DNA sequence: GCTTCCACTTGACAAAAATCAAGAACATTT
DNA sequence: AAATGTTCTTGATTTTTGTCAAGTGGAAGC
């Protein structure tokens, strides 16, 4: 069983081995180099990928600064969800922070899953609902915690990320400046 | 066509009138009084409701303060999503800020929709995905905007809310203190 | 090995927002 | 109308966080 199959079965709970094989056969291996863009804001978001190895940064460039929305690592799916699902221009830019191995499905093939695997839409609904809950938690941290508390919480759950990606991106993702993050970490 | 049917058909795009009738027949009218609790943190979240009239506040009480996550008004659905879908204890407390008329579906009946309306899971997936996108936007405001900018943005899109609910709840929802909101508004 | 480029740190200062405390405005009840 | 209880405002102050600027350290390229 590939990492993709394990992930799909653990998160989506597809029961039938045959269905699992169908799903994973539609994902194709893809490699992107450090610095390459997986997606650009405004372009068509026509693929959904599973990160096998490597790190990607999801961000948006504003007039003043780049705002990092999320950092995707091994075991995560990566896409611009609204662009992918609703066939609208991508909201986010996604760039590889390291050489990255992906399993990628094109929208065309993705649509076939719903036909081939009857339970797919329901499983996907549950998956997106759990993502929704994660974002609810994240909003809650911004409504109720200081920068330092947000750092502590994130650090507890993502220790290994801190020696793999530039801290400035983590700072942005936590809603603080690199200087503030640096001062918090000094303690 | 009831407000519920209009909302379901506009958001979920159910094509068949018969299907729409099936869905809306499973929602039952319910009234709750100002101050009553629709849901308590830790309890079972076993219903999903459509707000026909009235206002509800979704919040969580922490040691120091109450954190308002969202305010639901006419035309919104209200539930604790993670509790409702995954049958877990509710994360949020939901209280009526005014007398409120709801159309409510119990989880038991909700599960029947998926059987009665084949497209339901897909439509629901799309609906939850759009909710996900809304939360992404909201996180982005906390990563990139000042309290004043968040206020301006929210005020532009929700003017009418400001003379219907206590401003302290809006302040909390926007991630600032009531004093800060008051000072921003003085300008 | 030297240069160049980043990323990070540090200090001084400014701005934003929170806290604390008092009082005003407003609605609700009696 | 008086009393009560919220909610909102305002001022003074503190804390938190951001900004600007300079400097350090390490990694990659020449």
In the 3-class helix/strand/coil scheme, how is A56-89 assigned residue by residue?
A: EEEEEECCCCEEEEEEEECCCEECCHHHHHHCCE
Rounded to the nearest integer, the mean pLDDT of chain A is 93
Percent of chain B with pLDDT over 90: 81
Contacts of A138 (CB under 8 A, 6+ apart): B139
- Inspect the interface and report whether the beta carbons of A125 and B130 lie closer than 8 Å: no
pLDDT level of residue A70 (50, 70, 90 thresholds) = very high
> Is CATH 3.50.50.60 correct for A3-118?
no
- Inspect the interface and report whether the beta carbons of A122 and B130 lie closer than 8 Å: no
Helix (H) or strand (E) holding A116: helix A107-116
pLDDT tens-digit readout, B138-168:
999 999 999 999 999 999 999 999 999 999 9
pLDDT level of residue A7 (50, 70, 90 thresholds) = confident
pLDDT the model gives residue A15: 67
Mean pLDDT of A122-148: 96
pLDDT the model gives residue B8: 82
Rounded to the nearest integer, the mean pLDDT of chain B is 93
A179 touches strand C (CB under 7 A): yes
Structural fold of domain B3-131: Jelly Rolls (2.60.120)
A98 touches strand C (CB under 7 A): no
pLDDT tens-digit readout, A84-121:
999 999 999 999 999 999 999 999 999 999 999 988 99
Instruction: Give the mutation candidate from B129, B147, B175 for the A interface (greatest A CB count, under 10 A).
Output: B129
Indicate the residue of B60, B114, B143 with minimum beta-carbon distance to A67. B143
Query: Residue A159 above 90 pLDDT?
Result: yes
Query: Residue B15 above 70 pLDDT?
Result: no
Separation in Å, CA of A62 to nearest CA in chain B = 9
């Amino acid at each position: 069983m590939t990492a993709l199959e394990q992930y799909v079965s653990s998160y989506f709970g597809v029961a039938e081995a045959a269905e699992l094989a169908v799903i994973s056969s539609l994902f194709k291996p893809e490699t992107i180099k450090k610095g390459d863009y997986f997606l650009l804001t405004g372009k068509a978001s026509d693929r959904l990928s599973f990160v096998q190895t490597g790190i990607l940064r999801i961000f948006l460039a504003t007039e003043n600064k780049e705002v990092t929305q999320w950092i995707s690592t091994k075991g995560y799916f990566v896409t611009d969800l609204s662009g992918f699902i609703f066939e609208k221009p991508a909201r986010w830019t996604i760039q590889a922070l390291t050489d990255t191995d992906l399993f990628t499905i094109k929208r065309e093939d993705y649509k076939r899953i719903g036909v081939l695997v009857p339970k797919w839409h329901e499983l996907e609904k549950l998956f997106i609902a759990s993502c929704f809950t994660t974002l609810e938690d994240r909003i809650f941290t911004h409504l109720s915690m200081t920068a330092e508390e947000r750092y502590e919480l994130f650090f507890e759950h993502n220790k290994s990320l801190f020696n793999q990606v530039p801290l400035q991106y983590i700072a942005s993702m936590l809603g603080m400046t690199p200087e503030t993050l640096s001062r918090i970490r000094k303690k």
